[in-house]
Structure formats: structure tokens, C-alpha cells
Amino acid sequence: MPKHYRPAGKKKEGNAARYITKSQAVKYLQVSLSLFRKLCILKGIFPREPKKKVKGNHRTYYHTKDILFLKHEPLLEKFREMRAYEKKIKKAVSKKNRDLAERLLTRKPTYTLDMLIRERYPKFIDALRDLDDCLSMVHLFAALPAVEREKIPVNRVHNCRRLSHEWQAYVSRTHKLRKTFISVKGIYYQAEIDGQKITWLTPHALQQVLPADVDYNIMLTFLEFYETLLAFVNFKLYHSINVKYPPILDSRLEALAADLYALSRFFDSRASMTESKAASISESDVSKDLGEGTNYDESELRLAQLQQQLPSNEPGALMHLVQNAAESDEDDSETRKCKALFKDVKFFLSREVPRESLLFVIPAFGGIVSWDGEGAPFKETDQSITHQIVDRPTQGHKFLSREYVQPQWIYDCINARILLPVDEYVVGRIPPPHLSPFVDNEAEGYVPEYAETIKRLQAAARQEVLPMPGVGKEDLDDPQNLLVEGVIDRAEAIEAAEKKRKMSILQKQYHDELKKELGSTQISAASGGNKDSVSEDIDTGGDSLPDISQISKDADSMSDILMPRKKRKLLDAMKMGKEKKQANVDRLKQRNRMIKEGKISEK
């Protein structure tokens, strides 16, 4: 056979060589379809859309380099080893060799995804950018029930709940939360960490129903990767503020569903207790104090050890997760503003309110909060409580020293960054519209009425002056009006009037130069014409000057004609989108006008 022999057949080039179908990839890797899907999810490989689909439009295509990337993945060999081991266990069970089966089960091979995290996210900032879906998935499974039929084990649900509480504890105690919004789907949160905005969705605290048309195996594969990713992120964040990870859980508070408060009771190296004193208490000493001969798991030993380190009569230890570590850090202006929002406010939560969400957002903005139940920091009868959060008028006894408001008041205050008046949020009244902080009203072209009210309250808090409805900004800037209103004194009014006069002179000079420039352009464009008459028209301010708006319209129409068909269709789609947005704005304005006139109700 010649050295450079090649079998007869057509050489693959172009898309046929760069892309491969899913069935060809499965056959090439010699794995099952489910294992192929799992490898693609863990490695971050997704289908591609080639320009020309050689095998047909009904097939799924992958890049050839991605499949070669999977071929050399160490996890592939680990999965094959696990499959062979399962066959050995199945064979031992079928032969009723119980000793061999139990021995094989104890030595079953396992794997970790640590190397994949380092491979896909070489920098910590890359992991933060890809954390939105991770947090949403972890918070979703933290609220799901453990169902054996769908292969959702209990330990996975507990792990998701632990990871979500660790994340919320860091965001809350370092005051990194920025926005929150309650919707039908759930509660949206947005935090800002290291300059990255991270947005996630948490489901409502209701009984979750698992739909039957969802492939939970694929979701559990995503969850497996996300659990590892979030554990790495939490580890990095906790160590960035000198807090040990994983934190020590208070099992009693966790059993009482105290949520974030179960993630308290541990101090870092900068806490009040010195390291030497903390290290002097070992697990052996704790086990002796608890009684010899009694079997305690690791969490109980760590809890007992920590209880010896902390004073038994210190309720404040329940409220400070990483506050001691975070206080010494230099915060930016936004963090300081968030920390001081509920600084002098003390809250108490009634039973019917969303306790888990409020326990997360209130401490994130500097507030102190308690609830109705065991393990609470203070009782409802505490006279220092300033606000009580209630959702229905079921209070038998009301304290005159506190305000009774609905939970929406908390979220609206957070988004507005000010303490809003509580008159609109009292129990029994329909609260104002809950505006989304993720919508730019100015860009949408419609500003709700309550958004204007909040804007004026913010300006009043900053001691700024805004124009009244129907009054332009130029009227407010008039020094004479400001002097009459008493905003400025006479000397400041004279100085402002002088600045305004100089600005008008500069604007007039600019318009004169622009007029001369346009005139010179017309003179140079006139060929064979009477230049003297043109100059005379310019000097006398005649109608010979071109209309700038008409010139711009002609230029736009000419550019549309010369534009390629594909770009022109894209431009038409953009214009259609703007028209739809404007139609929606007009519809909202008409609806608001009809509500004010009493023709329709707000519902």
C-alpha cells in the first residue's frame, strides 16, 4: 500500500468538516445520549447553527472542536469507570453475593467538578458574571419538595437551601443589595459585587407543584454544576472579609426555620474573641463537657464549641453574621446610603408576611428585625419597635408608639432609597402601584404618576428644588423667580443674572457664525449665478438660507434608498418597535386619564 494512500471518497470541507450532528457525536464518543447531554452541560458546550446544514434542518449540530474537547475530558473516563463498577454491583446482586455487593458499594468511585470550575472561570470576576442563572436555579430547588419519583433527593434540597442562605447572608450583612421587585413569578433581587450587577429570582413561599412535562434529570445536571460554582463563590466572598467558610450553623434556629439567623454565631479573626482563646477550646474538651460515651455528630460538636466561645446572654450575636468583618472595610457611597436607610428603624414581622424575604432585605439596608416565634431576638411587646409589618388587620392590641404598614412599603423604600410616607401603606388601604426598579421610565417614554411623586420626595430629601407640574425647567432657572420664591438671596440673584446674560451673548455669537457658515456654503455651491444677489439675500436675512430640518429629512430618505435590503428590513423592524412602544405609552396615558375621570376603575 502506498505511503500516502487515501480511501476513495469525497473530501469533507467547509461546514461538513467543521460541524457534526448530535447522533454522529454520540457515536464518535461511544457514550449514551443522556451521558452526552450531561457532559455538554458540565463543560458548557451548546449546539451551533451553521449557515448551511449539510445533514438537514431537522438535526442538531455541534462544532467539531467542541466534540474533540469532550473526547479528552477526564470526566468521560470517570463516567465509564463508574458504569463498569455499577455493572459489577448488579452482577453481584443477581448472583446473591451480598458481601461482595456491599464491599463494592463502599468503594464506589466518585468525582468532583472542581477542575471544571477553574477551567470555565479562570478569574473570579468571570464567575460573578455567570451567577444569575446559578442563583435562580439554586433558590428554586431550595423551595421544591423532595420527590423520589423525580429523583430529587432530600440532601440536594438541603444543600441548595444552605448555599442560598450563605449567599443571602453575605449580601445582607455587607449591604450589597441594590434593587428588589415582587412579581407574579417570584421576587427579583439585584446585588452589586465587585462592580458586577447580579440579578436572580426566588420563588414565593408557597407550596410548589412539580409539572410532569419537565425533564428533571437535565435540571439536576445543571444544579450539580451550579452547586459547585456557588460553593466556590461563597468561599471566595467569605474569605475576602476574613470569615471562615463554611459557617457554623445553629441547628436549633435552623430547625425553627429562622432562615438567615441560623447562619450566625460565628466570629472571624477580627472579632472580639482572640484566636488563642478560641483555639484553646478543642473538640475533645467539648465532648468531655457534653459527657463521655455519648455520640455527637460534627455539627453538634461545632455548635457546642461555639456556644462556649460566645456569651450566653448576647442576643445581638444572632443579628450579626459578618458585620464585625464588614464594618472596617471602606464602602462606596452607594453602600453607605444603603446601610443608613433603615439605620434608626426597628421592625417586627407578623405571621402572615413573607418572613424569609424581609429577614433578608431589612438587615441589608441597616434595619433591625424580629419575628413572632421561638428564637426571635425581641418580642412584640418591645417598646422600641418603630414599625410593625402586617398584611391583614388581625391585631387585637395596637401600640400607639409604632407604625403598622404593609410589606410593600419596605420594598418601595428600598427602591426609592428614602423612607416613604406610611399614609398610603396603612393596613386596610390599597397600596400605591409597585413600580419596577428595573424599568427606565424615561427610556420607555411614560413616567407613572407615583414615580413622579417619589421623584419629588427624593428631591426634597436631598433639599433640591424641582419645577411644579406644568412649569418648565427654564422657568425654575430664572434668577428672578428664585429670588421671589426665597430660594436665593439678592447677591446670588445678581450673579446668576450676569451668568445668564453672558451665556445669551455666547449663544447669539454662535448662531451668527453658523449663519455665516451656511451662507458661505451656498455661495460656493452657486455656479454661474449672481453672487452679489446671494450675498445681499444673506445680509438682509432673506429666505435663501436652506432649511436644516428639510436637509436632514432628505439625507435620511437618501440613506434609506441606498441602504442594502437586509439593513433596510432591520431598520423597518426598529421603526415598528418604536411605533409599538409609542402606542403602548399612549394607551397607558389614556387609561390613566380615564381612571382620573372615573370612567373605569383601577382594577
pTM for the whole structure:
0.71
- Provide the residue type at 194 as one letter: D
Is 412 within 8 Å of 391 (Cβ atoms)?
no
In the chain, how many domains are there?
A: 5
Q: Beta-carbon neighbour count of residue 181 at 10 Å? A: 20
Among 216-230, 262-276, 385-399, 558-572, the range scoring the smallest mean pLDDT is 262-276
Q: What three-state secondary structure class fits 180?
A: strand
Query: In angstroms, rounded to a whole number, what is the distance separating the alpha carbons of residues 372 and 357?
Result: 15
Phi, psi dihedrals of residue 436, rounded to the nearest 5°? -80, 130
Query: In angstroms, rounded to a whole number, what is the distance separating the alpha carbons of residues 176 and 143?
Result: 23
Place of cell 417614554: 445
Task: Please indicate, yes or no, whether residues 67 and 153 belong to a single structural domain of this protein.
Answer: no
pLDDT of residue 294: 37
pLDDT band (50, 70, 90) for residue 86 = confident
Which residues have CB under 8 Å from 36's CB, separation 6+? 22, 25, 26, 29
Domain residues for 423? 341-449
Q: For 333-345, b where at least 16 C-beta lie within 10 A, e where not — what string?
A: eebeebbebbeeb
In angstroms, the Cα distances linking 255 to 37, 217, 249, 258 are 37, 29, 11, 8
The predicted-structure confidence for 237-285, as pLDDT tens digits, reads as follows: 999 988 888 876 555 555 554 545 545 444 333 344 434 443 343 334 4
Q: Does the pLDDT at position 363 exceed 50?
A: yes
pLDDT of residue 322: 47
pLDDT of residue 98: 84
Higher-confidence residue of 317 and 557: namely 557
Query: In angstroms, rounded to a whole number, what is the distance separating the alpha carbons of residues 393 and 404?
Result: 9
Q: Does the pLDDT at position 496 exceed 70?
A: no
- In a domain? residue 557: no
Is 20 within 8 Å of 54 (Cβ atoms)?
no
Reference 371, options 395, 392, 353, 394; nearest CA is 353
Of the CA atoms within 13 Å of residue 484, those in its CB half-sphere come to 7
Task: Please indicate, yes or no, whether residues 230 and 125 belong to a single structural domain of this protein.
Answer: yes
Reference 166, options 193, 186, 138, 204; nearest CA is 138
- In a domain? residue 410: yes
Mean pLDDT of 364-378: 85
Q: What is the 3-state secondary structure (H, E, C) of 380-410?
A: CCCCCCCEEECCCCCCCCCCCCCEEECCHHH
pLDDT of residue 486: 56
- In a domain? residue 318: no
Among 58-62, 110-114, 226-230, 528-532, the range scoring the smallest mean pLDDT is 528-532
pLDDT of residue 132: 94
Task: Please indicate, yes or no, whether residues 252 and 371 belong to a single structural domain of this protein.
Answer: no
* Cell digits of residue 497: 443674572
Higher-confidence residue of 553 and 193: namely 193
- In a domain? residue 239: yes
Of the CA atoms within 13 Å of residue 24, those in its CB half-sphere come to 16
- Indicate if the alpha-carbon torsion angle 580, 584, 587, 589 is positive or negative: negative
Mean pLDDT of 409-419: 93
Is 76 within 8 Å of 39 (Cβ atoms)?
yes
Which of the 8 DSSP states describes residue 317? G
- In a domain? residue 28: yes
pLDDT of residue 10: 55
Reference 135, options 214, 223, 236, 235; nearest CA is 223
Of the CA atoms within 13 Å of residue 490, those in its CB half-sphere come to 0
- Provide the residue type at 220 as one letter: L
- Indicate if the alpha-carbon torsion angle 101, 106, 107, 108 is positive or negative: positive
Higher-confidence residue of 37 and 462: namely 37
Q: What is the 3-state secondary structure (H, E, C) of 488-510?
A: CCHHHHHHHHHHHHHHHHHHHHH
Q: In what order do the strands lie in the sheet with 196-202?
A: 177-182, 187-193, 196-202
Task: Please indicate, yes or no, whether residues 244 and 353 belong to a single structural domain of this protein.
Answer: no
Which of the 8 DSSP states describes residue 544? T
pLDDT band (50, 70, 90) for residue 371 = confident
Q: For residues 65, 71, 72 and 75, what is the CA-based torsion angle, rounded to 10 degrees?
A: 130
Is 425 within 8 Å of 409 (Cβ atoms)?
yes
- In a domain? residue 457: no
Among 174-178, 216-220, 370-374, 547-551, the range scoring the smallest mean pLDDT is 547-551
Q: Does the pLDDT at position 554 exceed 80?
A: no
Q: Beta-carbon neighbour count of residue 135 at 10 Å? A: 24
pLDDT of residue 26: 92
Cα–Cα–Cα angle for 15, 18, 19, nearest 5°?
80
Among 136-150, 206-220, 468-482, the range scoring the smallest mean pLDDT is 468-482
Q: Tell me whether strands 346-349 and 387-389 are parallel, antiparallel or unpaired.
A: parallel
Task: Please indicate, yes or no, whether residues 140 and 243 belong to a single structural domain of this protein.
Answer: yes
Task: Please indicate, yes or no, whether residues 90 and 198 belong to a single structural domain of this protein.
Answer: no
Q: What spatial distance separates the first Cα and last Cα of the chain, rounded to whole Å?
A: 85
Mean pLDDT of 70-75: 89
Task: Please indicate, yes or no, whether residues 242 and 136 belong to a single structural domain of this protein.
Answer: yes
Task: Please indicate, yes or no, whether residues 165 and 138 belong to a single structural domain of this protein.
Answer: yes
Which of the 8 DSSP states describes residue 62? E
**Of 406, 421, 449, which closes a domain?**
449
Q: Does the pLDDT at position 329 exceed 80?
A: no
pLDDT of residue 598: 76
Task: Please indicate, yes or no, whether residues 56 and 125 belong to a single structural domain of this protein.
Answer: no
pLDDT band (50, 70, 90) for residue 203 = very high
Average predicted confidence (pLDDT) for the chain:
76
Query: In angstroms, rounded to a whole number, what is the distance separating the alpha carbons of residues 471 and 70?
Result: 66
Q: Which uninterrupted H or E stretch holds 534?
A: helix 531-539
Task: Please indicate, yes or no, whether residues 385 and 425 belong to a single structural domain of this protein.
Answer: yes
Mean pLDDT of 147-170: 87
**Of 272, 289, 311, which closes a domain?**
272
The total number of residues written for the chain in this structure: 603
Task: Please indicate, yes or no, whether residues 228 and 249 belong to a single structural domain of this protein.
Answer: yes
- In a domain? residue 550: no
Q: What percent of the chain has pLDDT over 70?
A: 68
Among 212-216, 373-377, 478-482, the range scoring the smallest mean pLDDT is 478-482
Among 159-168, 240-249, 286-295, 563-572, the range scoring the smallest mean pLDDT is 286-295
Reference 431, options 395, 407, 453, 398; nearest CA is 407
Q: What percent of the chain has pLDDT over 90?
A: 27
- In a domain? residue 6: no
The predicted-structure confidence for 293-317, as pLDDT tens digits, reads as follows: 334 344 444 433 333 333 333 333 3
Q: Taking each helix axis from N to C terminus, what angle separates 355-364 and 408-416, rounded to the nearest 10 degrees?
A: 30
Listed in order, strand segments (DSSP E) in 42-167 are 61-63
Q: Does the pLDDT at position 182 exceed 50?
A: yes
Is 301 within 8 Å of 287 (Cβ atoms)?
yes
Query: In angstroms, rounded to a whole number, what is the distance separating the alpha carbons of residues 361 and 353?
Result: 13
Q: Does the pLDDT at position 540 exceed 60?
A: no
Task: Please indicate, yes or no, whether residues 184 and 255 belong to a single structural domain of this protein.
Answer: yes
pLDDT band (50, 70, 90) for residue 83 = confident
